[in-house]
């Protein structure tokens, strides 16, 4: 089990992580979401023993983070982890395998990360996406129980992303815990079994993507209107939280779509192509974090 128990980490007056408690379980793929500055990287750094909590405890398989790393139980891929310049990809991967207590074969690690063809290339000659694949290889150089990834697919092309997530899914299916921070909400929606929403160092939401969408409690309504659209009565519709008019198409967000649509017909307009749908994870995330901002201000 991996867990944070009332963990706080402050930089001066900024509480980057503020009383965070959560547990991660084997076989779970967990997405850590949050706006810029929410505390995601700090939380991952605490989990990897790169930073120390001011208060509370971080436990990784019954020990502190550093002991767990020394025991080879944690693989990590950080945002800007420097790669040694003057070595080749193969040399770097071999080194990572040599350092891991339960290493995989370097050739397999290279193949899994899709970098066998660039194995002889110097690390400082790689493109951004290739360097990212090498970081991925380093994170999976051995058999670790927890894989921690900070913005892992930034700079990867579509094929690399798909291969990357297929591998992570395999890792989770084999009982490993995969925790990743991301700004790509569609990836979190598609891949994560569990989504954590962090905001100003606190956990705002914790559940499946479907639960997070339901928690946002809003729905999208879209329809077309003919002729000149008078926006004022539309803006006054009940339970409306946002509206966007583009050409003849009106898109609104409502906390009670049934009541909003009922009132819409009451305006005497004839909406065509009416659609009511749940929020996507991205809209739910924005709704949840904006509601929290409004509550705090
Ligand atoms: N070394 C540091 N010194 C001072 N403040 C810091 C330091 N590292 C982070 N912070 C602050 O702590 C807060 C959380 O930062 P953190 O990098 O953990 O957020 P994040 O969610 O990873 O953000 P992003 O999405 O932008 O990567 C921010 O307000 C940030 O400015």
Domain of 179 in residue numbering reads as 2-213
pLDDT over 90 (residue 278): no
Instruction: Name the domain boundary from 160, 179, 213.
Output: 213
The per-residue b/e assignment along 268-289, b for 16 or more CB within 10 angstroms, e otherwise, is ebebeeeeeeebbbebbbbbbb
- Residues 131, 250, single domain; the answer is no
Of the candidates 203, 164, 171, the residue with the CA atom closest to the CA atom of residue 56: 203
Which whole number is the average pLDDT over 262-283?
A: 91
Q: How confident is the model at residue 90 (pLDDT cuts 50, 70, 90)?
A: very high
**Assigned domain for 108 exists:** yes
* Residue 293 CB contacts under 8 Å (≥ 6 apart), including other chains: none
The rounded Å distance from CA 181 to ligand 1 centre is 13
Identify whether 270 is part of a domain: yes
pLDDT at 81 over 70: no
Q: Are residues 152 and 239 in the same domain?
A: no
Alpha carbon of 212 to ligand 1 centroid (Å): 24
Structure tokens at 290: 């904006």
| Cα 223 to Cα 51: distance, rounded to the nearest angstrom | 50
Whether the pLDDT of residue 79 is over 80: the answer is no
- Is the pLDDT confidence value at 84 over 80? no
Ligand 1 pocket residue status of 89, Cβ below 6 Å:
no
Q: What is the mean pLDDT of residues 198-214?
A: 91
Same domain, 18 and 113: yes
Whether 27 and 144 share a structural domain: yes
Average pLDDT over the chain, rounded to an integer: 91
- Same-domain status, 95 and 167: yes
Pocket test for ligand 1, best of 34, 42, 47, 80 (most atoms within 8 A of CB): 42
Same domain assignment for residues 174 and 231: no
Alpha-carbon radius of gyration of the chain: 23
* Rounded-to-10 torsion of CA 65, 70, 75, 78: 70
Across residues 199-227, what is the average pLDDT?
90
Task: List Cβ neighbours of 101 (8 Å cut-off, separation of 6 or more).
Answer: 71, 72, 142
- What is the structure's pLDDT at 195? 95
26 and 159 assigned to the same domain: yes
Last residue within a domain, chosen from 213, 238, 263: 213
Residues 192 and 224 in one domain: no
* Count of structural domains, the chain: 2
Q: Is the CB of 182 under 6 A from ligand 1?
A: no
Asked if residue 58 has pLDDT above 90, the reply is: yes
Distance from CA of residue 258 to its chain's centroid?
32
């Amino acid at each position: 089990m991996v867990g944070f128990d009332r963990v706080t980490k402050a930089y001066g007056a900024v509480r980057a992580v503020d009383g965070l408690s959560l547990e991660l379980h084997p076989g779970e793929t967990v997405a850590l979401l949050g706006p810029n500055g929410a505390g995601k990287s700090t939380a991952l750094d605490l989990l990897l023993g790169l930073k120390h909590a001011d208060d509370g405890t971080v436990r990784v398989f019954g020990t502190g983070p550093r002991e767990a790393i020394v025991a080879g139980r944690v693989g990590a891929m950080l945002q800007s982890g420097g790669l040694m310049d003057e070595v080749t990809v193969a040399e770097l991967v071999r080194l990572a395998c040599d350092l891991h207590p339960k290493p995989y074969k370097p050739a397999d690690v290279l193949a899994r990360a899709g970098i066998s063809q660039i194995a002889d290339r110097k690390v400082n000659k790689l493109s951004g996406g290739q360097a990212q694949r090498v970081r991925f290889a380093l994170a999976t150089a051995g058999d670790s129980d927890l894989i921690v990834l900070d913005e892992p697919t930034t700079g990867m092309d579509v094929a690399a992303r798909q291969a990357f997530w297929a591998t992570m899914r395999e890792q989770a299916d084999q009982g490993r815990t995969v925790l990743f921070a991301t700004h790509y909400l569609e990836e979190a929606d598609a891949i994560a079994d569990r989504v954590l929403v962090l905001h100003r160092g606190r956990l705002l939401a914790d559940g499946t993507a479907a639960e997070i969408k339901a928690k946002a409690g809003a729905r999208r309504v879209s329809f077309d209107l003919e002729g000149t659209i008078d926006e004022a009565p539309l803006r006054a519709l009940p339970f409306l939280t946002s509206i966007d008019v583009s050409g003849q198409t009106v898109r609104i967000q409502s906390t009670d779509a049934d009541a909003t649509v009922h009132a819409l017909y009451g305006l005497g307009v004839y909406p065509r192509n009416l659609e009511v749908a749940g929020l996507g994870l991205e809209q739910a995330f924005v709704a949840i974090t904006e509601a929290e901002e409004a509550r705090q201000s």
